[in-house]
Amino acid sequence: MAKLRPETTKQQQQRSATLPEFDSLRAYHVDDKAALALRNDEVARLLTVVHDPKKPVRMGASRLLEGMRGNDAGYQKLSKMSMNISMALSLCLLDNECINVEFCSRMANRERLQKLIRQAHVAATMTTSSAEKSAHDDTQELKTMFAIVNYISATLARLVSQTASGNFWITNIIATLAARVTKIKFLLVDITTSAAIAAATGEETLDRFPDLAGLSPNAEDEEEECDEAQRIIDANTKEGLTSEEDAAMASYCVGQNKYRSGINSALKYILLSLRLLNRSGLPATTYEMCVVVYELGFEGFKTVLFQDRDLEYSASSERDVLNTTQPALSMLNQVLREMDKQRRPILTEKSESDLQTYVEWAYRERDEAHSSPGSGIDYSELSKSTRRIPLSSMADIFTVMVPLIATSPILLSDFTSFRTAMALTGGVQDVVTPFQEGQFGAFCRLYTNQFDQEVEKRQILRLSKAFVEQRFSCCRLLANGDGNWKAKIWSPDGEIAKREPTHEVQERLDDCYAEMKEWVVDETSVTISLRIYVSSVIMFAVLLGAGGLAIGFTVGDRITGVDPFNLATYTWVLAAFVLLICKSVLVENWTWSDFLRRRVRCRSVSELAATSGIDEQLIMAKLLHDDCGGTILLTRGPYNSVFRRQTDGNGTNGFSIDRPISSETLMLSGLALLKVVTPRGNAIVCLDYRQGTYLTVVEHQVQQSKSRLICEDLNPISKDNRRARARGWRGAEPARLRLTKKENFKWKRVQGLYDFNGVDVVFE
């Protein structure tokens, strides 16, 4: 465990014996030799997971979970055991907080310490009241909790080793994780007594330091809190406000807290996700967990969209987070493939009334060299490769649930911040190198058949159904656009044609992508090249004029009383008229200088679509993609609400968004339309995870004052207005909904993705 301590000088090494030990077992009457032996066993177990990354992480034997079906009693039991493990984790945090209070007051906080003490008292009370069980039941439950802790820690160890390389990173985090797991297991043996000891120690520490203040408990994360504490320590050392010994001790404590910050948040999130909180209002056996990784717009930018078992949504499109997502999904794929090999799907179908849990998944990786310019993964092939296996026991369900929880953007964003903080912590030789991100696409869904039945009643769009219908695919957006592509690519019922036309669509999409890359964008316009169009118009005008002159010279004086050059004058007038018409038909203002240079400045979506020949929705998908990617283009217009870079006031100096945006375009660009329940009825809340979004979450009973895109008026959606694609004056007009930015908009519950029931909808 010396690896946990920072590099020290010889003088500091002589004083190392006086340094406090985090996650120590001394307070629970365990000698150092026995504690070290326990930690070494945990290190050896975790290193086997790290050293063989191709071997799937598997849960150890658990007769209790293997003998329980995935019914209400099984989920209740798993939730209770997760609660006990969470209690043991809070006791670890309490003991470490007491060390911070005594040796590094900058890292301590009175409110946080009091909260941990209250949790310890609750743990002692709850475990005492539920202690009436047989010794056999206690032993089986303890073994099962050990197996749960082992599997969660093995999952985190694999995630640590597969997200970055470097001895500093792997050695310190694995050692920290081993120490934490050792203490959690020991506390679980007699958590009632352990909780009483920890609470007494915390109260004693609180009495010894009545003036404890510390940093604000509202810091964004533990890494930021550690960095702020270290800055204060360094500043005090420079100004001579603290001794070198005290500064070294405080820095050591800051380092120990930083090593544990990512582990703490990951363990808390996984254990909390395993508990039954009933935030969705559905029974324990009616749930769905789903994760989808798809590409946003263009240039291979990806996003991870996650739905937890309580129907709360989170997403991220930041590249560092996606770099962490890939090994997490690869680990999940390994587990599922191994389960698929060992457990064949049940051939006999059960009745709809029988409860059954299933897992569906698809995962593909592709090298950059084999990726197309606009898209790296063929999502048509990905959806066709989906496999499904039934899960018969709680052991199987838990084996899938933990790595699936590890793909949540909430956990992955915290873990990415933790990895970044560790990269900035070590010395020059302590390099933390993230692995290179690859092209990948993924889908996984853990659900019960009761959830599918419930969704049909609620009329919401499942995230899994959106994946199957390819609503995340650029190819679908192009195929649904104006022109002949839809008839060629998409069958009338909206399903993908059987003859695999997506390669044709992808080629067309790549051509559009290459063409759009040539556009020159400034603050108010998009300039594109029209060499062929301008050259053709000029050539036609020249031919008209030259034809008139040719007639004049050819006819000469052969026709009495007729001047043939008058006809040449008419042809010149006609050529000028054609030139002016062709120059004015595409854009409102086309300067002669741009025309003669065979380029045009487009100042609206309609002008850009007319001049480029690209569908309006594909253009707006590109503009929305660039809107979050550092573009200098400023937008205005009647359908401008979803764009971030807007002109100030009511000025006209901006690019006009003069065409409504379809729901497919919003989804492709990173705006999921979620159906929420409000005091006035149903409404739409946009989960905005466009390019560069580190983390965004839509939860039940929102409390934050964050500005969001909201649609409260859903009256334009009529049940009888079935989808009919408008072709000019033909067909039905789409329903128009207005998105507005609002702050402090409150809702009670998130129901899922909004299902428009076939109604053609556009947004203003």
Q: What angle do CA 583, 589, 595 make, to 5 degrees?
A: 45
At 136 the pLDDT is: 58
Q: What are the Cα distances from residue 571, in Å, to 333, 565, 581?
A: 71, 10, 15
At 723 the pLDDT is: 46
The answer to whether 425 and 444 have CB atoms below 8 angstroms apart is: no
**Does 33 share its domain with 165?**
yes
The answer to whether 3 and 175 have CB atoms below 8 angstroms apart is: yes
At 491 the pLDDT is: 40
Give dist(CA 583, CA 598) in Å, integer. Answer: 11
Amino acid at 5: R
723 token code pair = 């989808």
Contacts of 61 (CB under 8 A, 6+ apart): 147
Using CB atoms within 10 A of its CB, is residue 596 exposed (0-12), middle (13-18) or buried (19+)? exposed
In-domain check, residue 496: no
In-domain check, residue 313: yes
Antiparallel, parallel or unpaired: β 735-737 and 708-711 = unpaired
Helix (H, G, I), strand (E, B) or coil at 370: helix
Crossing angle of helices 319-342 and 394-405, in 10° steps, is 160
Does this model's pTM top 0.75? My answer is: yes
**Does 303 share its domain with 261?**
no
Four-point Cα dihedral 696, 697, 698, 701, nearest 10: -130
Give dist(CA 706, CA 747) in Å, integer. Answer: 13
380-397 in b/e form (b: 16+ CB < 10 A) is bebbeebeebbbebbbbb
Helix (H, G, I), strand (E, B) or coil at 708: strand
Q: In the listed set 251, 274, 297, which residue is the last one of a domain according to the structure?
A: 274
- Residue bearing tokens 């000025």: 651
**Does 697 share its domain with 745?**
yes
pLDDT < 50 positions in the chain: 1-15, 128-131, 217-219, 347-348, 369, 373, 482-500, 719-720, 722-730
- Residue bearing tokens 């930015």: 741
Can you spell out the DSSP letters for 583-603?
Answer: HHSS-S---HHHHHTTEEEE-
82 token code pair = 């997760």
Give dist(CA 364, CA 83) in Å, integer. Answer: 35
**Does 314 share its domain with 451?**
yes
**Does 454 share its domain with 376?**
yes
Q: What are the Cα distances from residue 80, in Å, to 87, 147, 231, 597, 706?
A: 11, 15, 41, 73, 34
In-domain check, residue 392: yes
Note the Cα 600 to chain centre separation in Å: 38
755 closest CA partner among 459, 458, 457: 459
405 closest CA partner among 734, 209, 609, 148: 148
**Does 227 share its domain with 325?**
no
**Does 117 share its domain with 233?**
yes
Other Cβ atoms closer than 10 A to 672: 27
> With left for phi above 0 and alpha for psi between -120 and 50, is residue 360 left, alpha or beta?
beta
In-domain check, residue 494: no
Give dist(CA 382, CA 392) in Å, integer. Answer: 26
**Does 168 share its domain with 301?**
no
Give dist(CA 490, CA 194) in Å, integer. Answer: 64
At 297 the pLDDT is: 65
The answer to whether 398 and 482 have CB atoms below 8 angstroms apart is: no
In-domain check, residue 504: no
Q: What distance separates the 2 farthest-apart alpha carbons in the chain?
A: 127
169 token code pair = 């990173």
Total domains, the chain: 3
The answer to whether 496 and 502 have CB atoms below 8 angstroms apart is: yes
Phi, psi of 658 (to 5 degrees): -105, 20
Contacts of 396 (CB under 8 A, 6+ apart): 339, 343
**Does 79 share its domain with 200?**
yes
In-domain check, residue 480: no
Residues in the chain: 764
Q: What are the Cα distances from residue 533, in Å, to 77, 236, 525, 542, 614?
A: 71, 70, 20, 14, 15
In-domain check, residue 205: yes
Helix (H, G, I), strand (E, B) or coil at 558: coil
**Does 113 share its domain with 222?**
yes
**Does 715 share its domain with 685?**
yes
Give dist(CA 622, CA 669) in Å, integer. Answer: 8
The answer to whether 362 and 333 have CB atoms below 8 angstroms apart is: no
Q: In the listed set 274, 297, 322, which residue is the last one of a domain according to the structure?
A: 274
- Residue bearing tokens 């008058």: 566
In-domain check, residue 479: no
72-111 in b/e form (b: 16+ CB < 10 A) is eebbebbeebbbbbbbbbbbbbbbbbbbbbebbbbbbbbe
Query: In angstroms, how far is the first alpha carbon of the chain from the final one?
Result: 60
- Residue bearing tokens 């063409």: 515
The residues facing 496 across adjacent strands are: 490
- Residue bearing tokens 């990726």: 371
For the chain, the C-alpha Rg in angstroms (whole number) is 32
**Does 400 share its domain with 523?**
no
Contacts of 713 (CB under 8 A, 6+ apart): 737, 738
Q: In the listed set 274, 309, 334, which residue is the last one of a domain according to the structure?
A: 274
Q: What are the Cα distances from residue 44, in Å, to 38, 52, 154?
A: 10, 13, 11
At 214 the pLDDT is: 55
DSSP class of 59: P
Give the domain range for residue 103.
25-53+61-274
